[in-house]
Structure 1
Amino acid sequence: MTCKWPAKPAIFAPVLALALVAQAAHGADKASWLDPYRDPQDGSFDMSNALLNHKGVLPVPDIITEPAVGYGLGLGLLYFSAPSRTHADKAESANASSDAAAQDSAGDASRRTTPPNITGLGGFMTGTHSWGVGLLHFHTWDDDRIRYMGAVGKVNLHLNYYGPQGNANAYQLSGVAVVQQVLFRIANSPWYVGPRYTFFDSATRFGPLLPNSIQNFERDVRVGKGGIVVDYDTRDNMFYPSRGTYAEFEADFARGGFGSSNAFDMQTLKAYHWIELLPRWVLGLRMDTGFSQGDIPFFAQPYVSLRGVSDAKFQDRNQLTGEVELRWNITPRWALLGFGGAGKAYGNLHSFSEAPTAFGFGTGFRYLVARKLGLSMGIDVAHGPGQNAFYIQVGSAWR
């Protein structure tokens, strides 16, 4: 059983338990302590007010079962806050009708909403002595015209490198990583553009034998990349969309001027599209590509990422992946879904026609735990090449 690493934060078990208790005891006096976690609209368990209005910190325990790093546990602390609004927005809201204001305060999931600000602090540890700690912040300004994302972390990972024959070669990867990104909306369009900087000061150590497929191996490598990011975003919700499109193109250049010890280039393009087929049915389409040139470290190469497939097992100079997902909203709170996809990594170890095909398919479910945020939680179960896998998900599996 696997859970993709880096694992997504999850509080599904305790949240689901509270949701079931709240719904079972709905209307009972003895459950009054759960009242702050009930949605006045439908009486269901909901954490919107607790996250947005009470300014609390949300603890998010996580289960890690990725074979490359072993079984383990993680814990994150998330703080949500409503985005700041301009004076014009406040005046417009004050002059709006009471019905429209009520709809806005209810966070109607059918409308496109401004993402909340999120600050997260977390860490994890596994039985293979892999561990990591990190700090993340996402912030928007001026009615979502400026988006900032920053992260810093330190990891010590025990992973596997898979050569042309698919044999696992154990290695240790440790280091400190920093990511900084600022995007600016173009006029009133759904297009965003801005710079991204990534730095990873790494140390790599293999066992007694170095795989023959790795050339010019260096134990200590600094990856410093400067790049440009172009986003297109018409999603109705950033966590678990029901309609709209999210696409991102990124071109990165690793050079000595950015602090990199290796010179290489990378281009990635990912695009997700959601279609409301019927009132309760949503079709999701995903395309993901990655290309690299130059003296790129083996661990930084593009790889196929699919539910049911171990991360970095299918890794090469380039990768191409496609996936579909069909969701059935049984109720406004509960949803079932099925998914399937395939991908290839090629360019150095294999040509495209000779590269093995990675595949993954499965099913899962979600519970809408914070309606005003459009935040859902659940579990996906998948099957891939030679393994089964489960994933604890917060929102969509597509990032």
Structure 2
Amino acid sequence: MTAALAAVIATVFSAAQAEEKEPLSFIDSTDGQLDMSDFLLKHKGALPVPVVITEPAVGYGVGLGLLFFSGPIAEQAANSTGNERNRIPPNVTALGGLYTRNGTWAAAAAHFHTWDDDRYRYLGAVAKVDAHLDYFGLTSEPRAYTLRGDALLQQFLLRLGNSRWYGGVRYVFFDSTSSFTGGNVPDSVSKFERNQRIGAGSLILDYDSRDNIFYPGSGSLAEFEAQFARIGFGGTQNYDVYAARGFKWFPLMHALILGLRVETKFSTGDIPFYAQPYVDLRGVQKGRYQDRNAISTEVELRWDVTPRWSLLGFTGLGKAYGRLESFSQAQNVTSVGAGFRYLIARKLGVSIGIDVAHSKDQNAFYIQVGSAWR
């Protein structure tokens, strides 16, 4: 099966092979398994990521993403044995699009770049979206609405001394048009405006000790953000969001890794209803539980069955609260699931796989590139 899949991929990219001096192979010489490291690094190819969408918020759909890897770190990895973990990340360019059966579509492009041995980090993205979503408020009956717009993200981080801390700034702009089906706005939506712009500047503080940015086996990632949306930044509303998230991976024993995740957001001011924090868990509909503030936690246990294959199980808990309900009144949201990963690019530490998750009255599965936590 592995050999057949490798033959199909080699046929698809035969044009790239003809232009390269080195023969193109999708079989790793060290273990004889399917691997795209050389194609991505030496032949400057793209990692295709098929997207099968089962997100309850938008229904079933399909999409495709392409990941390109480059830069000095990628070049070093191309000539490495691949047994070591590369803590310094490669440069990554991503292109993608999706479409679902309820008419939702989106297209995006992004680029992540580092300089000076990862002392400087840049992230930029542009996107266009036409989404058909549901707003719940306090009721269990959703109200359909449409959200269209163009988005821009720019971020720059600087390493603080020789530490693993980074400080920097982020800017987000979103020019949107929203409307509820039938024109009836729910009572729980305050100060509804059909046309809105979000212009938000953020101060960012990051800590990153992960051994690999795609699928960590040890280390931590923490981020603290103070976001200020202002008319002076190009928006139509003034509001603030204070966010913190932390991921930690503990190697318990050989091939067994425990992961912990905590993420929380607090908002104040005139925040648009669609931008309010929500419970973010696999298996839970995006925006289903949404309010002024939200907290989400997950525990994940991963077993590296072989150097290539991993199995994992996870469970999560979260709640949204603040304006519609107090913390004690807000519903506890839980989810549970399992998944697998295959190490598709050994020299980069890039894996792909599927997660299947369940929460109250909802089921979903996700095609993942590396860790689900980003």
The alignment's TM-score, normalised by the length of structure 1, stands at: 0.86
User: What code does the residue aligned with 2:165 have?
Assistant: W
Residue aligning to 2:110: 136
How far apart are residue 45 of structure 1 and its match?
A: 1.1
CA 237–259 in structure 1, closer or farther in 2 if over 3 Å, else same: same
User: What code does the residue aligned with 1:275 have?
Assistant: F
2:91 aligned residue (117, 121, 139): 117
Residue aligning to 2:179: 205
Q: Does 1:217 align with 2:206?
A: no
Residue aligning to 1:264: 239
CA contact (8 A) 1:179 1:197 kept: yes
Mapped partners of 1:67, 1:212: distance in 2: 24
Mapped partners of 2:330, 2:98: distance in 1: 34
Which consecutive residues of structure 2, in runs of 5 or more, have no partner in the other structure? Answer: 8-16, 18-22
How far apart are residue 20 of structure 1 and its match?
A: 7.1
Residue aligning to 1:4: none
User: What code does the residue aligned with 2:353 have?
Assistant: G
Mapped partners of 2:233, 2:186: distance in 1: 29
SS of 1:132's partner is strand
Residue aligning to 1:10: none
1:147 aligned residue (114, 121, 140): 121
CA contact (8 A) 1:52 1:82 kept: no
- Per-residue Cα deviation, 1:45-103 (whole angstroms, up to 9, x for no partner): 11111111111233332111223222221122221113369xxxx9xx9xxxxxxx99x
1:247 aligned residue (208, 211, 222): 222
Mapped partners of 1:84, 1:333: distance in 2: 22
Mapped partners of 2:248, 2:294: distance in 1: 20
- Per-residue Cα deviation, 1:99-130 (whole angstroms, up to 9, x for no partner): xx99x812334x34211111122211111111
- Per-residue Cα deviation, 1:229-280 (whole angstroms, up to 9, x for no partner): 1110000000010000000111100111101100000011000000000011
2:44 aligned residue (40, 51, 55): 55
Residue aligning to 1:366: 341
User: What code does the residue aligned with 1:80 have?
Assistant: F
Residue aligning to 2:10: none
Mapped partners of 1:338, 1:41: distance in 2: 29
1:348 aligned residue (316, 323, 331): 323
1:11-26 aligned within 5 A? 18=2, 21=5
Mapped partners of 1:280, 1:212: distance in 2: 52
Residue aligning to 1:277: 252
User: What code does the residue aligned with 2:308 have?
Assistant: R
CA 195–19 in structure 1, closer or farther in 2 if over 3 Å, else same: farther
Residue aligning to 1:382: 357
SS of 2:89's partner is coil
CA 198–19 in structure 1, closer or farther in 2 if over 3 Å, else same: farther
Mapped partners of 2:53, 2:264: distance in 1: 26
Higher relative contact order (CA 8 A, sep 6+): 1
Mapped partners of 2:220, 2:312: distance in 1: 19
CA 19–388 in structure 1, closer or farther in 2 if over 3 Å, else same: farther
Residue aligning to 1:39: 28
Which consecutive residues of structure 1, in runs of 5 or more, have no partner in the other structure? Answer: 1-16, 24-32, 94-100
SS of 2:94's partner is strand
Mapped partners of 2:154, 2:331: distance in 1: 35
Residue aligning to 2:11: none
CA 212–362 in structure 1, closer or farther in 2 if over 3 Å, else same: same
User: What code does the residue aligned with 2:27 have?
Assistant: R
- Per-residue Cα deviation, 1:159-181 (whole angstroms, up to 9, x for no partner): 00111123211000000000000
Q: Does 1:286 align with 2:261?
A: yes
CA contact (8 A) 2:127 2:151 kept: yes
How far apart are residue 371 of structure 1 and its match?
A: 0.9
Aligned-pair identity in percent equals: 56
CA contact (8 A) 1:254 1:260 kept: yes
User: What code does the residue aligned with 2:324 have?
Assistant: L
CA 329–204 in structure 1, closer or farther in 2 if over 3 Å, else same: same
User: What code does the residue aligned with 2:25 have?
Assistant: P
Q: Does 1:184 align with 2:158?
A: yes
How far apart are residue 42 of structure 1 and its match?
A: 1.6
Mapped partners of 1:325, 1:57: distance in 2: 29
Mapped partners of 1:333, 1:273: distance in 2: 22
1:98-113 aligned within 5 A? 105-109=80-84, 111-113=85-87
CA contact (8 A) 2:59 2:100 kept: yes
CA contact (8 A) 1:22 1:44 kept: no
CA contact (8 A) 2:73 2:89 kept: no
User: What code does the residue aligned with 1:60 have?
Assistant: V
CA contact (8 A) 1:162 1:168 kept: yes
Mapped partners of 1:178, 1:331: distance in 2: 40
SS of 1:257's partner is helix
Mapped partners of 1:254, 1:18: distance in 2: 50
Residue aligning to 2:309: 334
1:65 aligned residue (54, 58, 62): 54
